[in-house]
Amino acid sequence: MATLKEIANMTGVSITTVSRILNRDSRLQVTPETRDAVLTAAKKVGYIKINKSNEQSKIALIHWYSVKQETEDPYYLFIRLGVEAHARKRGIKLISHYFSTLKEPLPLADGAIVVGKFDEEEIKRFEQTYPYLVFVDSSPNPKKHDSVMIDFTNAYEEAYRFLINQGLTDIGYIGGREYTKTLKHPLIDPREQFVMQKQIPQKRIHIGAFNTTSGYQLMKQIIQEKNLAQAYLIGNDHMAIGVLSALHEAKINVPEDVSLIGFNDIEQSAFTIPPLSTIKVYQKDLGETAVNALMERIKGRHIPEKIILPTELIQRQTTKGDHKNHETSH
């Protein structure tokens, strides 16, 4: 029968380290390569069996957003629901953890789905705790970890071209900026990055937070400064709802005076006045895909994958044109 000593000899680490790795000790400071080597050796000699049954699998779901933030901007909420639903469907035990500081203990599991944006120190902590990681909505190290992403570039390119084809060449952007929890570093948002690459004038780029209040305040400021563009790409639907409110107060007609395209296609976007044109994101599919990817890694897939999911432009009544042809998917 295989022993800890045999695994230690194969990997060049101490018996104590082997034991702590196999027992998922989150306090142990070892490199991901060492952890992987020990787990691989243990499977090879039959000390632990490769998990073929989902019922024996336990995965962690690490959240970037707090519960309050999920309420204000449900983008990550729907990803979480997608992960939870698919884990239940596959009979996988799921442990949720809302991450806040580097010092807090992390739940022990066979691997983790990490949802949101994290800095290098935070990622290093996850790597020391879990043998397998799948990142959702970020891809910090595609050569090492799986990731599941939205195709932001093609999503915004389609929306941008749609507005251009309507003769709207004066296009602005209203969006937010996000920060890591530990170091509070501002993160590069791919939507903001896209509009900058299109050389949209700086006076047409307005940055706040990804919530309704910020969208409202930014548009109020635009109106006061008489700086209104012909059309706006907006970072998410909650911001767009605030923008619509400010425009309504100022008696500025949508889409006659200004066109708007949101992002996410939340349920409320079909019921704003007028109904919001937006980019549909399949958040639950992001969660489902992440569960499948993590289980593949746990079962033995060695090469990491970067999975990019498409989006869909949903045209309603905040943009001009034939709306009927674009509502079938909603």
Total domain count, the chain: 2
What is the reported pTM?
0.79
pLDDT value at position 34? 86
pLDDT value at position 27? 67
Across 65-71, average pLDDT = 82
276 or 73: which leads in pLDDT: 276
Angle between helices 32-44 and 120-129 (to 10 degrees): 20
Asked whether residue 55 carries a pLDDT value surpassing 50, the answer given is no
Q: Are residues 259 and 302 in the same domain?
A: no
> Which of 37-51, 57-71, 253-267: highest mean pLDDT?
253-267
For residue 137, give the nearest of 124, 152, 121 by alpha carbon.
Answer: 152
> Which of 120-124, 194-198, 229-233: highest mean pLDDT?
229-233
* Domain ranges, residue 242: 152-280+313-326
Domain contains 48: no
pLDDT value at position 182? 64
Q: What's the rounded Cα separation, in Å, for the pair 135 and 142?
A: 9
Q: What's the rounded Cα separation, in Å, for the pair 313 and 279?
A: 4
Give strand pairing partners of 179: 186
Across 213-233, average pLDDT = 97
Asked whether residue 185 carries a pLDDT value surpassing 70, the answer given is no
Q: Is the dihedral of CA 22, 23, 26, 30 positive or negative?
A: negative
Q: Are residues 157 and 299 in the same domain?
A: no
Task: Encode burial over 58-95: b for 16+ CB neighbours within 10 A, e otherwise.
Answer: bbbbbbbbeeebbeebbbbbbbbebbbebbeeeebebe
- Comparing 72-76, 116-120, 162-166, 217-221, the range with the smallest average pLDDT is 72-76
Confidence of residue 1 (pLDDT cuts 50, 70, 90): low
Q: Are residues 270 and 288 in the same domain?
A: no
Q: Are residues 118 and 166 in the same domain?
A: no
Asked whether residue 225 carries a pLDDT value surpassing 70, the answer given is yes
- Comparing 10-19, 140-149, 179-188, the range with the smallest average pLDDT is 179-188
Q: Are residues 75 and 21 in the same domain?
A: yes
- The predicted-structure confidence for 12-54, as pLDDT tens digits, reads as follows 988 888 877 876 666 677 887 888 888 888 878 877 654 444 4
Q: Are residues 146 and 181 in the same domain?
A: no
Domain of 19, CATH number, reads: 3.40.50.2300
Asked whether residue 324 carries a pLDDT value surpassing 60, the answer given is no
Domain contains 49: no
pLDDT value at position 181? 67
Asked whether residue 329 carries a pLDDT value surpassing 60, the answer given is no
